[in-house]
């Protein structure tokens, strides 16, 4: 086949890069419109809290010994800083600084100071300043590092948290557990009155404040800073993965979560010039929260303070926080001034707990792997004679519990926009609708101009449909009589969209991007059924790279696909040392039901060929090593007398 300029096979008049952002905005609108408003506030809070706990994942570990210890002390004029370390779970070290006033009538109120995405964590100037301001007012303050920041950078970055969804965990859930255990430690101190506990933090720390206070009623007063908002058109595009709770928008928006704090005192502080957590969204959130407090007869316990600043925890914000804590934890009502505060350099190691962080510490990768192994043992299939029932149940669970369900089918509205004839080949430029607001650009390549029925291959690549035009194997297949139908599944090619943002938004709306793309393939099958020149009884699906997983799962769910070929597909989502896979691969709870080999077994007895399979780090595997992963797949194919239809080899994609 002669080379064709990809510009010549552009389907849409211009790229539709806004398609997915508009799609997510529509889903948010529908979820908001259909969510019931609370009538009985307390019953609503109980139900909502249960739903939130479930979405946060299996983070509630056994409350073992904290193994807390004070590493060192720093003497200041009117307070002491203890360098403290505890283990939220065994070998998961949490580093902190405990600020204790030298002169106070103990026990005094305790404050947990959590931080946002500040590189220096507890050493950040904003964190130090608020801790010093509070300890000088007679509070005991615990500032801790969170995953991936400060001394805990060795435990994994927040982007690693995207893996956790597949094993039923969330990064926010792990952080929440750290903070719950931090409360345990803070309240165990003789200097602290356990009945007078507050929590505050900014940005991501404001979100931590929200979730901790919503779940743990030991928090008597909460002050989230530059974090309150409502998810609207932008959904969560600019947020970290730690702020994405799977399916949350199905039962709550951010103001609803903050309303779980009622009737306990809640102060929301936002910057008028904040470009991330905008003041408009903060005001909308506050108005909704205030209605809940009104209904409970405690409107005086919620307030919004606006400061003419951007994103941070500035002096004016701190002063509002001091006043609020004093009012509700000490019964003192007057404006507080802040003396000049001198902080340690963020580059200094003065506040560090360790000279060298313990090498035996758990990491996000360790936690993921432990959970993956636990789930593998739980889902072990003991009676393959029941495989048919197991397979049908897996289909249901993957579609419903992992992908969040598929939408009602929308009319395809298929159109052939242009036809290109050259030599003996015909290329059709096509669009059809996968959903109301999801357009699938596609190209159909065949040899000859007659309408005889041809076997068809759905060709999926993360490079986009235009990439098939340069493929030698495509030319050879077309010359053999196949029709090649290549699509831009949502978010690639002519509808390109950031993979991480697509993942985050899809998580929060409760329909994962991996499942959305599988659905695009299912709708491609629906389109094929409308064509008289394509053989519906001879449909193959070929995929490469991460698109191979889309092809695999689509074939596992839809039996209309008779043959599957997958190039450089990862053999498992179980890994000791992390992944080099895109974030869109890690669908919630997937490993609770099936790993890649079990999904592959669902295709039996149809033909399945794996070519040059790779490990989770995308390293090539020898055939004998790859086969070890697919023991269950091989057994199912043997059970169905179709062992010869499951093939793994190292040859090229021809």
DSSP code of residue 293? H
Answer with the one of 335, 358, 391 that is the final residue of a domain: 335
Residues in the chain: 654
Q: Look at residue 514 and tell me if it is in a domain.
A: yes
pLDDT at residue number 61: 81
pLDDT in tens, 36-88: 888 899 999 999 999 999 999 988 888 899 999 999 999 999 999 999 999 99
- Evaluate whether residue 14 is within a structural domain: no
Tell me the DSSP string of 151-168. Answer: GGGGG--GGGGGGGGGGT
Asked whether residue 358 is assigned to any structural domain, the reply reads no
Query: Out of 247-256, 335-344, 358-367, 406-415, which region has the weakest mean confidence (pLDDT)?
Result: 335-344
Q: How far apart are CA 508 and CA 250, in angstroms?
A: 8
**Contact predicate 535/485, CB 8 Å:** no
Q: Quick one: pLDDT band at residue 654, thresholds 50, 70, 90?
A: very low
Q: Tell me which of 87-91, 212-216, 275-279, 459-463 is least confident.
A: 275-279
Last residue of a domain, one of 335, 359, 392: 335
Residues 616-622: what's their mean pLDDT?
A: 95
Three-state secondary structure of 525-570: HHHHCCCCCEEEEEEEEEEECCHHHHHHHHHHHCCCCCEEEEECCE
Q: What is the mean pLDDT of residues 15-22?
A: 95
User: Is the per-residue pLDDT at 6 higher than 60?
Assistant: no
Residue 628 pLDDT > 90: yes
Distance (Å, whole) CA 352 – CA 406:
49
Q: Same domain, yes or no, for 405 and 309? A: no
Measured between its terminal Cα atoms, the distance across the chain in Å is 15
Checking if the pLDDT of 7 tops 50, the result is no
Burial 350-373 (b: 16+ CB within 10 A, else e): ebbbeeebeeebbbbbbbbbebbe
**Strand 534-544 versus strand 79-89 pairing type:** unpaired
H/E/C letters for each residue in 220-240? Answer: CEEEEECCCCCCCCCCCCCCC
* Same domain membership, residue 151 and residue 54: yes
Between CA 207 and CA 214 the distance in angstroms is 10
The helix/strand/coil state of 485 is: strand
Count CB neighbours of 390 within 10 A: 19
Spell out where 266-319 has E strands.
266-271, 302-307
In this structure, the answer to whether residues 324 and 386 fall within a common structural domain is: no
107 and 187 together in one domain: yes
35 vs 236 pLDDT, higher one: 35
What mean pLDDT is predicted for residues 250-275?
96
Residues 6 or more apart whose CB falls under 8 angstroms from that of 380 comprise none
Q: What are phi and psi of 476, to 5 degrees?
A: -65, -40
Confidence at residue 382, expressed as pLDDT on a 0 to 100 scale? 83
Q: Assign 653 a pLDDT band (cuts: 50, 70, 90).
A: very low
CATH number of domain containing 141:
3.40.50.1820
pLDDT of residue 404: 97
Residue 318 lies in a domain: yes
Per the domain annotation, does 353 fall within a domain? Answer: no
In a domain, 448, yes or no: yes
Residues 326, 410 within the same domain: no
**Co-location of 177 and 238 in the same domain:** yes
Indicate if the pLDDT at residue 379 is higher than 70.
yes
Q: For residue 108, what is the DSSP state?
A: E
Please indicate, yes or no, whether residues 167 and 305 belong to a single structural domain of this protein. Answer: yes
Give the residue among 620, 630, 509 at the shortest CA–CA distance from 31: 509
Tokens 């570990």, residue located: 61
496 contacts 228 by C-beta, under 8 angstroms: no
Q: How confident is the model at residue 504 (pLDDT cuts 50, 70, 90)?
A: very high
pLDDT confidence of residue 27? 95
**422 and 566 assigned to the same domain:** yes
265 and 401 inside one domain: no
Residue where a domain stops, chosen among 279, 313, 335: 335
* Contacts for 277 with CB less than 8 Å, ≥ 6 apart: 203, 206, 226, 227, 228, 229, 270, 271, 311
Q: Which domain holds residue 124?
A: 31-36+38-335
User: Could you tell me if 438 and 586 lie in one domain?
Assistant: yes
Contacting residues for 121 by C-beta, under 8 A, at least 6 apart: 115, 127, 145, 146, 149, 150, 151, 152
DSSP bridge pairs for 267: 303
Based on the fold, state whether residues 446 and 320 are members of the same structural domain. no
Q: What is the pLDDT averaged over residues 3-22?
A: 82
Comparing 37 with 267, the larger pLDDT belongs to: 267
As a whole number of angstroms, the distance between CA 494 and CA 82 comes to: 56
Which two three-digit tokens encode residue 520?
């695009």
Question: How many Cβ atoms from other residues are within 10 Å of residue 607's Cβ?
Answer: 18
Q: Is residue 643 part of a domain?
A: yes
Is 598's pLDDT higher than 90?
Answer: yes
Is residue 206 a contact partner of residue 122, using CB atoms and an 8 Å limit? no
Percent of the chain whose predicted confidence (pLDDT) is above 70 = 98
pTM above 0.85, yes or no: yes
Q: How far is CA 246 from CA 174, 294, 513, 586, in A?
A: 14, 30, 12, 12
Angle at 311 between CA 307 and CA 313, to 5 degrees: 70
Q: Residue 4 pLDDT more than 80?
A: no
CB within 8 Å of 497: residues ≥ 6 apart: 17, 19, 20, 21, 490, 491
Does the structure show a pLDDT above 60 at 595? yes
Tens digit of each residue's pLDDT (9 = 90 or more) over 537-576:
999 999 999 999 999 999 999 999 999 999 999 999 999 9
User: CA 446, CA 427: separation in Å to the nearest integer?
Assistant: 7
Checking phi first, is residue 382 left (phi over 0); if not, alpha (psi -120 to 50) or beta?
alpha
Classify residue 359: in a domain, yes or no.
no
Residues 138 and 211 placed together within one structural domain of the fold: yes
Question: What mean pLDDT value characterizes the chain?
Answer: 94
Banded pLDDT at 243 (limits 50, 70, 90): very high
- Tally of domains in the chain: 2
pLDDT at 37: 83
How many other CB atoms sit within 10 Å of the CB of residue 535? 16
Residue 581's contacts (CB-CB under 8 Å, 6 or more residues apart) are 546, 570, 616, 618
Backbone angles phi, psi at 368, to 5 degrees: -60, -50
């Amino acid at each position: 086949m002669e080379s064709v300029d990809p510009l010549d096979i552009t389907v849409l008049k211009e790229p539709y890069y806004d398609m997915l952002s508009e799609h997510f905005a529509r889903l948010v609108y529908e979820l908001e419109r259909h969510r019931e408003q609370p009538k009985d506030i307390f019953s609503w809070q109980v139900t909502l809290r249960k739903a939130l706990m479930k979405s946060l994942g299996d983070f509630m570990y056994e409350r073992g010994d904290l193994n807390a210890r004070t590493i060192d002390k720093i003497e200041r004029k009117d307070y002491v800083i203890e360098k403290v370390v505890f283990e939220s779970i065994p070998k998961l070290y949490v580093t902190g600084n405990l600020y204790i006033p030298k002169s106070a009538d103990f026990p005094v109120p305790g404050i947990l100071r959590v931080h946002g995405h500040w590189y220096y964590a507890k050493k950040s100037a904003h964190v130090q300043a608020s801790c010093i301001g509070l300890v000088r007012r007679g509070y005991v303050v615990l500032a801790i590092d969170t995953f991936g920041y400060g001394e805990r950078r060795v435990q994994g970055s927040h982007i690693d948290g995207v893996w956790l969804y597949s094993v039923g965990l969330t990064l926010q859930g792990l952080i929440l557990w750290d903070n719950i255990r931090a409360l345990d430690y803070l309240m165990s101190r003789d200097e602290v009155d356990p009945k007078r506990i507050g929590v505050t933090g900014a940005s991501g720390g404001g979100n931590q404040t929200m979730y901790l206070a919503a779940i743990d009623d030991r928090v008597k007063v909460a002050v989230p800073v530059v974090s309150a908002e409502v998810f609207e058109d932008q959904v969560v595009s600019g947020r970290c993965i730690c702020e994405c709770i799977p399916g949350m928008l199905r039962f709550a928006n951010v103001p609803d979560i903050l309303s779980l704090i009622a009737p306990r005192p809640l102060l929301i502080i936002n910057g008028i010039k904040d470009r991330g957590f905008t003041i408009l969204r903060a005001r909308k959130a506050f108005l909704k929260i205030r209605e809940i407090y009104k209904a409970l007869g405690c409107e005086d316990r919620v307030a919004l303070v606006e400061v003419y600043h951007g994103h941070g925890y500035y002096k004016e914000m701190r002063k509002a926080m001091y006043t609020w804590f004093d009012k509700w934890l000490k019964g003192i009502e007057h404006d507080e001034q802040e003396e000049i505060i001198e902080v340690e350099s963020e580059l200094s190691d003065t506040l560090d707990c360790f000279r060298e962080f313990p090498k035996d510490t758990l990491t996000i990768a360790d936690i993921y792997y432990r959970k993956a192994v636990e789930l593998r043992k739980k889902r072990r299939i003991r009676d393959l004679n029941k495989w048919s029932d197991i397979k049908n149940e897996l289909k249901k669970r993957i579609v419903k519990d992992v992908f969040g369900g598929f939408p009602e089918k929308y009319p395809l509205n298929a159109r052939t926009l242009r036809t290109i004839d050259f030599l003996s080949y015909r290329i059709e430029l096509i669009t059809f609708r996968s959903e109301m607001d999801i357009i699938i650009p596609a190209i159909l390549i065949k040899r000859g101009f007659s309408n005889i029925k041809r076997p068809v291959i759905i060709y999926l690549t993360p490079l986009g449909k235009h990439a098939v035009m340069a493929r030698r194997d495509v030319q050879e297949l077309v010359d053999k009589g196949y029709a090649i139908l290549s699509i831009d599944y949502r978010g690639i090619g002519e509808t390109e969209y950031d993979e991480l943002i697509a993942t985050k938004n899809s998580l929060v709306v409760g329909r994962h991007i991996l499942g959305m793309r599988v659905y695009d393939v299912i709708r491609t099958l629906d389109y094929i059924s409308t064509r008289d020149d394509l053989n519906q009884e001879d449909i193959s699906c070929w995929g490469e790279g991460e698109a191979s997983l889309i092809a695999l799962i689509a074939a596992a769910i839809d039996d209309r696909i008779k043959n599957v070929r997958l190039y450089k597909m990862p053999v498992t989502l179980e890994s000791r040392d992390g992944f080099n896979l895109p974030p869109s691969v890690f669908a919630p709870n997937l490993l609770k039901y099936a790993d890649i080999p079990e999904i592959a077994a669902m295709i039996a007895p149809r033909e399945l060929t794996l070519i040059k399979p790779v490990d989770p780090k995308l390293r090539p595997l020898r055939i004998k090593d790859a086969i070890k992963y697919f023991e269950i797949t091989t057994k199912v194919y043997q059970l169905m007398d179709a062992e010869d239809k499951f093939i793994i080899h190292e040859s090229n994609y021809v």
